[in-house]
Chains A and B, each alone.
Chain A
Amino acid sequence: MEYSIDISNIGHEYDGKKVLDGINLQIGSGEVLGLLGPSGAGKTTLIKILTGQIEQIRGNAVILGKDTRKFKGSDFKKLGIMMDNFGVYERLSCYDNLKLFARIYGIPQEKINETLSDMGLRKAGKTLAMNLSKGMRSRLILARVLMINPSILFLDEPTSGLDPASREHIHRLILKEKEKGITICLSTHNMMEAEKLCDHIALLHEGNIIEYGSPAEICRKYNHQKKIKIHLYNGKDIELFNDKSSARIVEHYLANEMMETIHSTEPTLEAVFMELTGRGLE
Chain B
Amino acid sequence: MVTNIAAIFQKQIKDTFKNKEIFIQFIMFPILTIIMEHAVKIDGMPPHFFVNLFAVMYIGMAPLTCMAAVISEEKEKNTLRVLLMSNVKPVEYLLGIGGNIWAICMLGAGVIGVCGEYRGGIFGRFMFIMAVGTLVSILIGAAIGIWSKNQMTATSITVPVMLVFSFLPMISIFNTKMEKLAAITYSGQISRLLDKMEISTESMAVMVFNMAAAMVLFGYAYRKRGLE
B78 and A104 contact, CB distance less than 8 A: no
- Could you mark each residue 9-38 of chain A with 1 if its beta carbon is under 8 Å from any beta carbon of chain B, else 0? 000000000000000000000000000000
- Interface window among B84-92, B99-107, B122-130, B212-220: B84-92
Q: How far is the CB of B116 from chain A (nearest CB, A)?
A: 33
CA gap between A87 and B77 in the complex, in Å: 5
List the A side residues contacting B78 at CB < 8 Å: 83, 85-87
Nearest A residue to B85, CB-CB:
A76
A89 and B85 contact, CB distance less than 8 A: no
List the A side residues contacting B18 at CB < 8 Å: 91-92, 128
- Could you mark each residue 191-207 of chain A with 1 if its beta carbon is under 8 Å from any beta carbon of chain B, else 0? 00000000000000000
CA gap between A107 and B89 in the complex, in Å: 18
- The reply to whether the CB of B82 lies closer than 8 angstroms to some CB of chain A is yes
- The reply to whether the CB of A53 lies closer than 8 angstroms to some CB of chain B is yes
A73 and B82 contact, CB distance less than 8 A: no
- The reply to whether the CB of B176 lies closer than 8 angstroms to some CB of chain A is no
A89's contact among B7, B11, B88, by CB below 8 Å, is which? B11
A104 and B7 contact, CB distance less than 8 A: yes
Nearest A residue to B79, CB-CB:
A87
- Beta-carbon contacts under 8 Å, B1-53 to A: 3-4, 6-8, 10-11, 14-15, 18-19
- The reply to whether the CB of B119 lies closer than 8 angstroms to some CB of chain A is no
- The reply to whether the CB of A101 lies closer than 8 angstroms to some CB of chain B is yes
Nearest B residue to A77, CB-CB:
B87
A-B residue pair count with CB separations less than 8 angstroms = 62
B11 and A74 contact, CB distance less than 8 A: no
Known: A73-B87, A85-B78, A91-B19. A104 touches B14 (CB 8 A): no
A74 and B7 contact, CB distance less than 8 A: no
List the B side residues contacting A73 at CB < 8 Å: 87-89
B86's contact among A91, A104, A128, by CB below 8 Å, is which? A104
A89 and B19 contact, CB distance less than 8 A: no
B11 and A86 contact, CB distance less than 8 A: no
Subset of 29 A-B contacts with CB under 8 Å: A52-B85, A53-B81, A73-B87, A73-B88, A74-B87, A76-B85, A77-B87, A83-B78, A86-B78, A86-B81, A86-B82, A87-B82, A90-B77, A91-B14, A91-B18, A92-B11, A96-B11, A100-B7, A100-B10, A101-B86, A103-B4, A103-B6, A103-B7, A103-B10, A104-B3, A104-B83, A104-B88, A105-B86, A105-B87
Q: How far is the CB of A73 from chain B (nearest CB, A)?
A: 4
- The reply to whether the CB of A235 lies closer than 8 angstroms to some CB of chain B is no
Interface residues of A (CB under 8 A from B): 51-53, 73-74, 76-77, 79, 81, 83, 85-92, 96, 100-101, 103-106, 128, 144
Q: Which of B6, B19, B87, B88 has the most CB of A within 10 A?
A: B87
List the B side residues contacting A91 at CB < 8 Å: 14-15, 18-19
Nearest B residue to A81, CB-CB:
B85
CA gap between A77 and B82 in the complex, in Å: 12
Known: A100-B7, A104-B3. A89 touches B86 (CB 8 A): no
CA gap between A96 and B7 in the complex, in Å: 11
List the A side residues contacting B77 at CB < 8 Å: 87, 90
B79 and A76 contact, CB distance less than 8 A: no
CA gap between A52 and B87 in the complex, in Å: 13
Nearest A residue to B11, CB-CB:
A100
Q: How far is the CB of B27 from chain A (nearest CB, A)?
A: 17
17 A-B pairs besides A103-B7, A104-B4, A104-B87 with CB distance below 8 A are A73-B88, A76-B85, A76-B86, A76-B87, A77-B87, A81-B85, A83-B78, A86-B82, A87-B77, A89-B15, A91-B18, A91-B19, A96-B14, A100-B8, A100-B11, A103-B10, A105-B87
